[in-house]
Structure formats: C-alpha cells, structure tokens
Amino acid sequence: MRILALVPGGISEQILFFPTLEDLKKRYPQATIDAIVEPSSKSAYRVCPHVSEVLTFDFKDRSGLADYLNLLGIIRDREYDIAMTLGQRGSVGFLLWLSGIPVRIGYADGSTRFLTQTVPLNANQYAAEMYHDLLKGLGITLPCPDLAVSVPTQDLEWADAECKRLGIQNGGYVVIHGGASDLSQQKGIDKMYPVAHWQTIVRDFQQKQPDLPIVLIKGPEDAEMVAALMQVSPQIKVTSPDNVGKLVAMIAGASLMLCTDSAPMHLAIAAQTYTLALFGPTDPDKLLPQSDRVLGIKSPTGKMADIAPQTVLDRVWGG
C-alpha cells in the first residue's frame, strides 16, 4: 500500500501533523507513506520517522499549470492507494481526482466534489487534533497522540558537544527563542516579543538564579535580537543549530523553554520540555495541548508588546 499526504503550510503545520502520520503508520505498518510539503517545510521531516519520501510543491498561488502537471505526473507514477489532504482548494482536490488515487480524503468544508471521503472541519480545537480528524475518513477513531519526534543520533551527539562548548555541565539550562519566521513577518502577524522585555526577563533570571545558564537560540532572522540581548547580558550563551534535529536536541536538554508562538514551540512540546509560550493575536487554545508541562500567556490586547515581563516572570517563579 502507498499513502500520500498533502500538507501545505510551514514547519509548525508539519509538526502538528506528525500525530496523524503516527497513527496512520500504526494502522498500516507495511504501507509506504509519502508527503508533499512546501519547499521551506521539508526540513521538519528530519525528525519524523513515519514518512518514506518528502516531495515538495509550492501550494501557493505562484504555482502555474505546468507545475501542477509536473506534480500530477509524479503522483501518477507512484500509484498511491490513499491520499489525504489538509488543503481546501478545489485545485488540489481536482489534482487528486486526475491522479486516479481511489481513496481521497479531505475536509467537508473544503472542495468536496473530487474527494471520496470527507470529515467535518472543526477548527475550534487543538490543531493537531483537527488534523487527526482526517483519519476518521479511514475509520480510524483513536485519540490523537501527543506530539513526538525522533532525533537522529548525530544530532544528539552534536548537542552534547555544543553544551560542552558553551560550558554547560550536567544540563539544567533555560532556552529562549524570541524570534518569528519570515512568513509570519511577511503576513504582518505580530509574533515578535520586544527585545527590551526579553532584557528584563533575562536580568531577573540572572539575579535570582545567577548560576543557571541561559541559552539563546539564534536562527537566520534572530541576529538583531540576539545582539541586543548580548549587549545587556554578555554572559548569555548563544547556539545556532543548522537543522531541526539539532534544534530539538538542544531544546530537549533544557529544563525550561521560553518562546513565542513558533515552530520551536511545537518542537519543545514534542521534546517534553517545560514550555512557556507567548501569544499575541493567535489563540493558544488552538496551538497548545492540554498539558501540565505547557503554558501559554495570551496578550490582553492581541499585541505581543502588551505582555508585561512581570507577567511572564510571575508564571516562571510561581508568583
């Protein structure tokens, strides 16, 4: 059996789809499962053991007829038995219909004309559970499992070496990721917590727990924020993992993750690291599971800047 999953969206969407892939593999352990994702999201599957091959396609409006025809040829050549799509565009359903895949599953609120099974779209729930609902189209009614990842051995070894380089002994450090993806910034979604607020939080940590290492995750878009924090607190440690596996490994070794609504937030949850996440306009109830290891702080105004540093610190120290 060959199964195809079409998963538009960023790395966050891929991670939230991992529980669906996990139960799909449990039901069909001998099946080959492939995924089609945005080019920028392929890297997420470094820590997903359930997918055999990851293909890429630009699901956005920039894709033209030639792009769709090329993708159609790739799909037809692989002769899939089942296709499952998160996308709700009619063009995706039409593509799957043309491919000849006998079982085509999607949401009932999308374009259902070209699908063989549909499930209701319940967007008022945790996103991983919303994606997991698609399995009902195959008669799978298991509860949604927790987010989980599988980190390659070489990435775990890199993290051990990185901790030694940073002078961190025996674990016990706090990780901060205060950045946001280029995509969210391009869309004008407020996910950046002000540097001045991070500075206040870092100073408080250093006053209360001077021996507790603080590690900043520096991504491609985080240079300005990291530089500003280093000016105030030069003893902060900085790491720059160059793939998702190394990022998870560093987060997994931490005792606490402080972050904004981002892909690293979902990775921290999957790594079972205690996570405190800050939300501006987005809804924590739809992006966080019910867990005593995860806490979301929602801005009272929808603006990240209006989350007071003291509010964060009160949650950290139990005030």
Instruction: Encode pLDDT of 99-132 as tens digits.
Output: 999 999 999 875 678 899 999 999 999 999 999 9
Question: Contact 116/105 with Cβ under 8 angstroms?
Answer: yes
Position 186 scores a pLDDT of 54
Tokens representing 54 are: 């990851």
Position 203 scores a pLDDT of 92
With vertex at residue 68, the alpha carbon angle to CA 64 and CA 70, rounded to the nearest 5 degrees, is 115
So where are the chain's domains?
A: 2-138, 153-317
Alpha-carbon span 63 to 71, nearest angstrom? 11
Position 182 scores a pLDDT of 53
Instruction: Encode pLDDT of 191-216 as tens digits.
Output: 789 999 999 999 999 999 999 999 99
Confirm whether 2-138 and 153-317 share one CATH topology.
yes
* DSSP E strand boundaries for the chain: 2-7, 32-37, 53-56, 82-85, 103-107, 117-119, 174-177, 214-217, 237-239, 256-260, 275-279, 294-298
CATH number of 153-317: 3.40.50.2000
Statement: the pTM of the whole predicted model exceeds 0.75: yes
Measured in degrees and rounded to the nearest 5, phi and psi for residue 275 equal -130, 130
Q: Is the pLDDT of residue 64 over 80?
A: no
Q: Is the pLDDT of residue 313 over 90?
A: yes
Q: Which residues contact 231 (CB under 8 A, 6 or more apart)?
A: none
- Domain 2-138, CATH number (from 3.40.50.2020, 3.30.160.270, 3.40.50.300, 3.40.50.2000): 3.40.50.2000
Confidence tier at 15 by pLDDT (50, 70, 90): very high
Q: Is the pLDDT of residue 263 over 80?
A: yes
What does pLDDT average to over the chain? 91
* Count of Cβ atoms closer than 10 Å to residue 133 Cβ: 18
Which residue stretches of 137-194 are H helix? 153-166, 182-186
Q: Is the pLDDT of residue 26 over 80?
A: yes
Identity of the amino acid at 302 = G
